[in-house]
A and B are shown apart, each in its own frame.
Chain A
Amino acid sequence: MAIVLESLAKIVFMFLLIMGMVPALIWAERKGAAYIQDRTGPNRASIGGVRLAGLVHPIADVLKLVFKEDVAPTNRHRALYALAPWVVMTVAVSTYAVIPFGDYLTIAGRKIPLVVADLQVGLLYVLAVASLGTYGIVLAGWAANNKFTFLGGIRATAQMISYEINMGLAIMGLMLIFGSLRLTDIVAGQGGLLFGWLPMWGVVLQPLGFVLFITSVYAETNRNPFDLPEGESEIVAGYHLEYSSLKFALFFMAEYCHMVVGAAMISALYFGGYQIPWLPRPMLEKHAGLLLQLVLGLTVAASLLFAVLFLRRVQREKGKFGDARDREPVLGAGFWIIVALAAAGAFALRPGDIGATGASVFASLFQVGAFVGKVVFFAWLFIWVRWTLPRFRYDQLMRLGWKVMLPLGLANLVGTALVVALIGNGK
């Protein structure tokens, strides 16, 4: 019974993490793109005058999509047309099952591993499920009965086949080194230090494998510079051209879910997952009290900084808009002052003596936080790359996949195998 509850709790946590990151990423995409391009980006939607620098816009977007008319082509394949967005979405979310987001959590003597399903063949599961995502896209392209969506679907298939192989080859290098397909093993194996000072992350052990992997992940998620399935300059919007309203919203959200999955994979496989370099778990637990004080102190400082920034706006922007938005600086300043006071209060309570259990929970949460931080960074990298690089031409995409990355991947695999055979693997 307990294990069911545990699993449910973990599933809900993972799901909320992803779903919470989607609107944040959409915001980051829009705002980041704007700032990269010297624009201001979204800053209009507000709730009672509070705009959260455009963070309200995803809510408005969702509301709009919910209330939009669902226009669908007459000659579609009804069942598959309706199924396709769900396939894409489901696949995007289910990859998370095997990714460890923390080491373990000890509650009332129970040691709970922080992964939904600790599969022995976790890596194979990831590869298998990720390739299923193509089905959704191909079905969407075909079922809509439109030549542009169909072309988008075909492109997605060809692209997926080309880059799936490279992805697999890249991961095999890691598999050889860590001697396991289990993701928890791989992450745990990255906790050590190489030569006593270099974190034993996948990226350090497998630099070429990392480059091949991250490129393949970008291609698998259909993100720029590999977003040819929806290349609007040639095929309008590609596979989701004929979708509108909530069905389109599903595709849209699935893209960001894929991004989060990709970022989580990159973090787990090549950047040590929840591992914090030079700060192994025993040390974390030992200095938990100090770290907590440090975190609280930093929170106070940051909140005060934000409060000051808002207070400056109070003076500067008095009556600037002539509507509810004028309240925003006051509300912002108030909010950050309250946060600062709360953190300061917690700081003043001196929670240094949190006990062994508390220290263990804190250490687990700290590691989860580290993992989420890494995921956020790589998700942002997706966005950053999108607004930096131009899209590949289709022949360039194919040449890169088959003529450059495949030989490199094979060479990497053979090289790693030789090294592992000579000096033994990480175990």
Chain B
Amino acid sequence: MAKLTIDGGAIEVADGTSLFDACRLARGEALPHFCYHPDLSIAGVCRLCQVEVEGMPKLTIACNTAVRDGMVVHTRSEKVRKASQQILEMHLINHPVDCPICDQAGECGLQNQYMAYGLYDSQVTQGDKVHKTKAQVIGPEVILDKERCVLCSRCVRFCNEVTKTGELGIFNRGDRAEIGVAPGQQLDNAYSVNTVDICPVGALTSRDFRFQKRVWMLKSADGVCAGCATGCNVRIDHEAGRVYRLKPRRNAQVNGSWMCDEGRHTYKAVHADDRLVEPMWRGQAVTWADAKVRLAEVAAGGFALVVGSAHQALEELCLLKQVAAGAALSGGLAGSDMGVGDDILRSADRTPNRRGLALAGFAEHGAIELAALIRAAKGAILVHGGDPAAAPEVAAALAGRQDVVYVGTHRRATAQAAALALPGATWAEKAGIFVNRQGRAQAFAQAVARPGQAREDWRVLAELLPAPAAAPGSLKVLREAVRAQLALDVDLDRLPADGALTGGEA
């Protein structure tokens, strides 16, 4: 342990801690910085995190200095303040200050830090700037503005260290130095938008989000990516009932600071044209009241087969099991929703909650097995989420049946095949828990309102319970019931920020 004094206060940190982290602890906020990133190597190029260490002849950058016992550090002295001001002035020399058209405005390191530490009475003139290429498409997801770049090299380090693809580099010297891709190459790795996230200025911006919304208008909700079994923690940025983008939320246990490009596009399904937004009876839109009447007709004697899905939240699956009340259970199609995985983040399993499905006691079946189960069912069938009818065998088994009830979010094959389709909510429109491939239960919060007549899935399922009077009154009560049902020793309503491992086999 090292004991040191920062801004007059004593602090004790582990040996080998960087002075930057020690200062963050002591100050309660990070030092100004561009190039430092907790999940990347130290570059020390922006020179903004300079602090005054007694005994050292000059200011030193905190990110590249390890703590030493007995250090006396000043981060708010006049010398440090002036240094930060001048460094920021330097970064601004060739910056175009085109904030009005820059998507980064509002979450820009240069803006924010200039507001906090800048000189204000700037010495930089708008004339004689070195002009570079603007709005250059460098990949399927990313657009580059070389003028705005402060050459922090975060993106270069990301491509070298995390994806190890090395597409980006710094070319030229002095005030002509610029970020770029090698001729004939593209920034087309599966994680390329992370460079946009870590870019402290607007040099790299997302083509998908470009000009869609000014960032200060967005509201955020903490979510979990439903794109695959990894369960990357995300921030759902939304406004006026619409999700605009997903940004990774740091969780060192799951995804670090990253997420894949494919996961960022999952929000589009929330606003897809084929959303199921009102109850459908044999292809006709009906009201919920009518739907309940139809439901009583179709499933008067309860269900003979209940099919779950790895796309649904843990609470819903447990409630679904109660709805089944001993009837035949299926977890849906085994091996459905598979894609390409890698050893960075992406799982081949493209469902968010397959572990949760198993935990809740649902076993998946192959298409032929599932079709046999459907044919064997002597009563109504309830399908919750997923799209098992995408398999031709299942579709054939479902064809002609008039007693299939589907609860889901999109008008896909299963919704079309069902006699009664009830609109549920997507992950952005409800709160719930997914169990990722590590067996880690992670909670996600509701971001936007549900479209049309759609309802939270658990409330829909509660109506289907054999004894609706016994239905849980709130999600909190339901979560308590789930905890008891699964014999977990965590409070599911207050999961830790980095999730809780549920144990069980991998």
* A–B direct contact (CB < 8 Å): no
